[in-house]
Amino acid sequence: MKNILIIFGTRPEAIKMAPLVHAFQKQTAHFKTKVCVTAQHREMLDQVLGFFEITPEYDLDLMTPGQDLYGLTAAIITELKPVLEDFKPDYVFVHGDTTTTMASSIAGFYSGAKICHIEAGLRTHNKHSPFPEEINRQLTGRIADFHFAPTEASRDNLLKENIAPDTIIVTGNTVIDALLESVDKVKRKPSTLVNQLDTELKGADLLLVTGHRRENHGDGFIRICEALKTIALERPALQIIYPVHLNPKVLEPVNRILGNIKNIKLIAPLAYHDFIWMMDRAKIIITDSGGVQEEAPSLGKPVLVMRDTTERPEAIDAGTVILVGTNTEKIVQETFALLDNEDHFKDMSSKHNPYGDGAASRRIVDFMMHKQQERLVR
């Protein structure tokens, strides 16, 4: 039996790792699985843990006011040392591109564990965009022993970096596993907030907005808000809902520019299950989130991405997302094109999702079990 430690710290990581935690926990004859959270995001992380019924064996609780990347990186590496010494994992699983991912892969490497990178191989090849995620992902890729790539394009990126082919497996993205598991559950048991919002919408077309990325802070968010203001004023029958990130650099321009517009509803960040309902209810989604680019196409939702680059080019190639950056005119233009051109909307919303079929976690567990059998034969 091998010890597996699954480490994550943010809400998006928790969502994408939850189905993998469940999949490994079912294989008690082969693996002893424990979960460690850094709590890089505290409240938002706890919502997801509750929804997926995951109780971490280790909770570092590292979130502090005014946290910066220097302190967070150092704290993760330092605080993981006793965890790694206590559990002595054979494999450490990390996900994606967060500071938790990068620092945990370093700490796991120091402990002698093999590092397994979920959602490996995404690249923009621009170390400043997204910042610091692109470098976090590349550093983790250099440390990892096994690379679970969501798509063939991600696999190709790794091969170009001279990663050994037999350490890479294309699995699809675990976020689709989580999404498909969650949609039916949300519909069966809608929350009080969902029932309230559904009543308030009264059948109106819904434009869902999310935005928080560092590279959009400042002038970028001002341009985004001006675009949303234009859309709202020119289409008064359209309802825009924007769950606003708690970062003051987001809250200030959003509330100042959009706070008094009748058909824009600014709300607190949503719990995962409520956000799933909101995506399913929306007609169009405007976002700077990486995960939403992967999730929304499975629900048939066109996505406008408020970023200049994306490490998810498969979505662009498949036609499920359009990059609009923070260009006010382009955001408005592409939104109106989807609202006014029914054929364009239907074409974009019916495209195949390139990120998977909901079986990524099973493929990862099967790969690890196969690796164990190979070692037993030897």
Question: What percent of the chain is modeled with pLDDT above 90?
Answer: 76
Amino acid at 23: A
Catalytic residue among 11, 41, 117, 119: 119
DSSP of 217-261, one letter per residue? Answer: TTHHHHHHHHHHHHHHHH-TTSEEEEE--S-HHHHHHHHHHHTT-
User: Tens digits of per-residue pLDDT, 265-320?
Assistant: 999 988 889 999 999 999 999 999 888 998 999 999 999 999 988 888 888 999 99
Structure confidence at residue 245 (pLDDT): 86
What CA dihedral angle connects 33, 37, 42 and 47, to 10 degrees? Answer: -10
Token pair 């400043």 is found at: 128
133 is catalytic: yes
Q: Which fold has domain 190-349?
A: Rossmann fold (3.40.50)
Structure confidence at residue 372 (pLDDT): 76
Q: How far is it, in rounded angstroms, from Cα 308 to Cα 128?
A: 11
Question: Do residues 97 and 133 make contact, with C-beta atoms less than 8 angstroms apart?
Answer: yes
Structure confidence at residue 375 (pLDDT): 63
Query: Quick check: helix, strand or coil at residue 132?
Result: coil
Q: In sequence order, which residues have a C-beta less than 8 Å from that of residue 14 and are 6 or more positions away?
A: 8, 37, 45, 48, 49, 52, 54
Mean pLDDT of 86-115: 98
Q: Which of 38, 48, 42 is nearest to 76 (CA)?
A: 38
Question: What percent of the chain is modeled with pLDDT above 70?
Answer: 99
Q: Which fold has domain 2-172+359-377?
A: Rossmann fold (3.40.50)
Q: Which of 35-39, 113-117, 195-199, 223-227 bottoms out in mean pLDDT, i.e. has the lowest?
A: 195-199
Structure confidence at residue 376 (pLDDT): 56
95 is catalytic: no
Q: How far is CA 65 from CA 23, 124, 247, in A?
A: 35, 30, 11
Q: Is the pLDDT of residue 189 over 90?
A: no
Question: Do residues 316 and 351 make contact, with C-beta atoms less than 8 angstroms apart?
Answer: no
User: Tens digits of per-residue pLDDT, 227-264?
Assistant: 999 999 999 999 999 999 888 888 999 999 999 999 99
CA pseudo-torsion sign 152, 158, 162, 168: negative
Structure confidence at residue 130 (pLDDT): 87
Tell whether pTM > 0.85.
no
Structure confidence at residue 43 (pLDDT): 81
Catalytic residue among 13, 22, 97, 223: 97
Structure confidence at residue 67 (pLDDT): 86
Q: Is the pLDDT of residue 378 over 60?
A: no
Residues of the chain with CATH 3.40.50.2000: 2-172+359-377, 190-349
| Cα angle 26, 31, 37; round to 5 | 85
User: Tens digits of per-residue pLDDT, 313-371?
Assistant: 888 999 999 999 999 999 999 999 999 999 999 999 998 888 988 999 999 999 999 88
Q: How far is it, in rounded angstroms, from Cα 354 to Cα 175?
A: 12
Catalytic residue among 133, 177, 274, 280: 133
Catalytic residue among 41, 117, 147, 212: 212
212 is catalytic: yes
Structure confidence at residue 371 (pLDDT): 82
Q: How many of the other CB atoms lie within 10 Å of CB of 299?
A: 17
Q: Is the pLDDT of residue 24 over 70?
A: yes
